[in-house]
Amino acid sequence: MNESQSESELDWVLVLAPFRRDADYIAAFLREQKIGVVAAKVDDDLSHHLVSDPAIIVVTNEALDPNTVAKIAEHLSTQPDWSEVPIIILLERSAPLAAIRSRLQSSWPGSRLLFHMRPIAPLELVNVLQSNLLVRLRQRQVRDAFERERELRLELNHRVKNILASVTSIFQMTRRGAATVDDLAREFTGRLVALSNVHTAVFEAGGEEISLLSIVSLTVAPYNSNGLNRIDFNGPDLAVTREAGTMLALCLHELTTNAIKYGALSLADGKVKVSWTIAGSNEPVFSIDWTESDGPPVRQPTRQGYGTRYVRSALGSLLGTAPTMTFAASGFQCSAKGPASRLIAYSKSV
């Protein structure tokens, strides 16, 4: 007997017809109609087949001995909420329909009982099975939708908690460095806006990855408006992960903020160049450089602010090696490099 290869996806029919060769006859006919089918012996392998979840059970009245009724009842009792197993009962014209119906309804709660008189026209049987296979397909789709919704709710909860934790941390860190309440409000808002912008960009890009070029242009856009070009950037476009994109955007925000407060962007002629590369073909290395020029005389700060600490930690975590920060006479520089595989989505470029 050809046990259908698809005997698991709730898309096959289990036939229980012990009388003569009824089962084989029905099975052969259904196979001709491309309906997956298993004709089972009532005594030995019924439980084994039920475990494989038939979409529909076809049963003749000779098969309805107490043992078989009990085995099917047990199978029905383990069905999840979304599953309503259609059971097609083929009865002799002389069979006591009312008595059989009431017995099966009490033995098999939660099933869909469909009674047909024998001999059933082949076309009628095929129609009944096709429409019930469709019912089962819809039930599976409902199950999958419930499952997806459950996963999304868990993921949403996880993300919201992470975002709240990030916002709490940003607040605590900003408060430490702020001299006045106004400073605190301005810096905190600036950081939240940067976080919000990158969130929007990732969401619009589909939620899981984002183009590095769009992250950089988004972050520096406010400084390149009105015909000014204060922050020059170039590098190959790459699809980076959501986490990498968020960290890089926040790093650029902090570097920009520092450049405005203390560095090149504090003077009208000061400039910044951001460039990044991918080199090597076997295990490509990503490197990114932030270089300031034409700014005020460079001084090494006495105390490391939040921005600098964040950039150090974030780039260190992202690339596996802490970045190098140089307070060169020509301008502040920050360089970082590490395996490109740590930030690239699906290890390939756009």
Partner 1 sequence: MSDIGAAVLVVEDEVLVRLAIVTSLEDEGFTVFEASDADAAIEILNVHTEIRLMFTDIDMPGSMDGLKLAAAVRDRWPPVKIIVTSGHHDLSDEVLPVEGRFFSKPYDHSRVISTVREMVAAV
User: Residues interacting with partner 1, by CB under 8 A?
Assistant: 158, 161-162, 164-166, 168-170, 172-173, 176, 247, 306, 309-310, 313-314, 316-317
Q: What does the alpha-carbon distance between residue 107 and residue 128 come to, in Å, rounded to a whole number?
A: 23
Residue nearer to partner 1 on the CB measure, 102 or 157: 157
Select 46 or 344, whichever has its Cβ closest to partner 1.
344
User: How distant, in Å, are the alpha carbons of 35, 36, 57, 73, 263 from that of 133?
Assistant: 9, 10, 11, 21, 69
Minimum separation from the CB atom of position 151 to partner 1 (A): 15
Q: Which is closer to partner 1, CB of 65 or CB of 183?
A: 183
> What distance in Å separates the CA atoms of residue 227 and residue 318, rounded to the nearest whole number?
34
d(CA 40, CA 22): 11
Q: Which amino acid is at 347?
A: S
CA angle 211, 193, 254 (to 5 degrees): 75
Least spacing, CB of residue 122 vs partner 1, in Å: 56
Whole-angstrom CA distances from 52 to 12, 24, 56, 135 are 10, 20, 12, 18
* C-beta closer to partner 1: residue 138 or 176: 176
Q: How far is the CB of 254 from partner 1 (least distance, A)?
A: 11
Minimum CB distance to partner 1, residue 274 (Å): 20
- Spatial CB neighbours of 185, under 8 Å, sequence gap ≥ 6: none
Smallest separation, CB 160 to partner 1 (Å):
11
For partner 1, the closer of residues 41 and 309 by Cβ is 309
Instruction: For tokens 């270089």, name the residue.
Output: 291
Tell me the two tokens of residue 119: 């001999």
Q: Are 250 and 314 in contact (CB under 8 A)?
A: yes
Residue 111 near residue 86, CB atoms below 8 Å: yes
Least distance in angstroms from the C-beta of 164 to partner 1: 7
When the beta carbons of 286 and 306 are compared against partner 1, the nearer one is 306
